Amino acid sequence: MVEQDKEQAVLDGDGVSRRGFVAGAAIASMAARGWLAEAATTAPAKILLVGTQTTAGSKGIYSYQWNAATGDMTAQELAAAVAMPTFLALSPDGLHVYCTDELEPGPGQVTSFRLDRAARKLTEINAVSSQGEAPCHAALDHTGRALFAANYTGGSAVSFRVASDGSLSKAVEDFKYTAHGPNPKRQSAGHAHRVTLSPDNRFLLVNDLGGDAIHIYRVDAGAAKLTLNDPPQWKATAGSGPRSLRFHPNGRWAYNVNELDQTAELLAWDARSGTLTSVQRVELNPNGPDASSTASESAIDRQGLFAYFAVRGVDILVTCLIDRLTGKMTVLERMHCGGKVPRHIALDPSQQWLLVANEVSGNIAVFRRDAKTGKLSETGKEFAISKPQCLLFA
């Protein structure tokens, strides 16, 4: 995964029966509760945690005071020294933080921390092997009893039990992916890139960029056990490279970012069968697919009205309107990301600001967001930090 980013740096220099309606409403209600629970956890957040690559001077995970009134990040602190903390996840209770330590060669690690909010520091609890090279993403189930991670170079997804003190068990499940897509440079092997829990916590979805697929498992959260669903996967367009996935607040739609062909794809989610169906593909790059560009990340506002996407290479942000009835996207605007190689984006808890972690230019750019129109505006605010990878409000 780190090699992928080095490569990128070089390239840069969308009729229901009554029964179906009731079931869908129940699922949407569960999704809304989960969304609100997340909001309840993060609404008072005044801490921003930033994971980094440590190849150019960074020492690990940094913390900032976040001011939602002004959109300012202040008082940078080294929260924890970590070798290669490229992704961060917050426990549902807000007490613990987990990071993927994207090491290669050799197995990477997943590390658990206690979060001291007053000091904005992280105290390590334990670190366990990810059972594969370059773990690049982690997610907890909605109860906080299980954690899942994706090994990019290792081409696998793993699970861990989470103890009451936040510590991690050794790996419980380890699923390896061997299928590969037509792109010889980027898809010579399976590359797990994202692990996403379904809104009802019954399924785990694993984006496999190398295999052009999203693998789907049934989840036993208490035991951190996974069972392949039937059917076991959704197949993406050959060579598209499905990188990341984000569910809509209603729990019925998921938005997939295809890295290699720079598209955003609306997928209809059937929560009863655990299946995805492609509904719409939207080109994010204004000039169409470009071998020198790669799509990276998405964000959806809490009301589910707007989606935001980042594309590296052309270095843009794309704002889309989400149709309330169909979930289909309409591009509203494209604008520069405020730096080079936007690796990660995040909406702050107030939903007034969108932050962009620009890896190569080494800055976090802050954009003001209009909640009514969804449009972004430049603020001129940017904050220097070496190779930012992940933004987490806690």
- Give 27-51 pLDDT, tens digit per residue: 444 444 444 334 334 445 699 999 9
**For residues 176-195, average pLDDT:** 97
CATH of the domain at 250: 2.130.10.10
Supply the range of the domain harboring residue 208: 2-393
Query: How confident is the model over 362-370, as a mean pLDDT?
Result: 98
> Which residues have a Cβ under 8 Å from the Cβ of 64 and sit 6 or more positions away?
47, 48, 50, 73, 74, 75, 76, 77, 120, 383
Residues 334 and 223: their CA atoms lie apart, in Å, by 44
Among 136, 144, 53, CA closest to 97: 144
d(CA 179, CA 156) in angstroms, rounded, equals 11
Tokens of 68: 């939602």
* Predicted pLDDT at 6: 38
Mean pLDDT over residues 266-289, rounded? 97
Query: Contact, 322 vs 280, CB < 8 A?
Result: no
* C-alpha closest to that of 76 among 112, 41, 42, 121: 121
Q: Is the pLDDT of residue 21 over 50?
A: no
pTM of the entire structure?
A: 0.90
Please give the tally of structural domains in the chain. 1
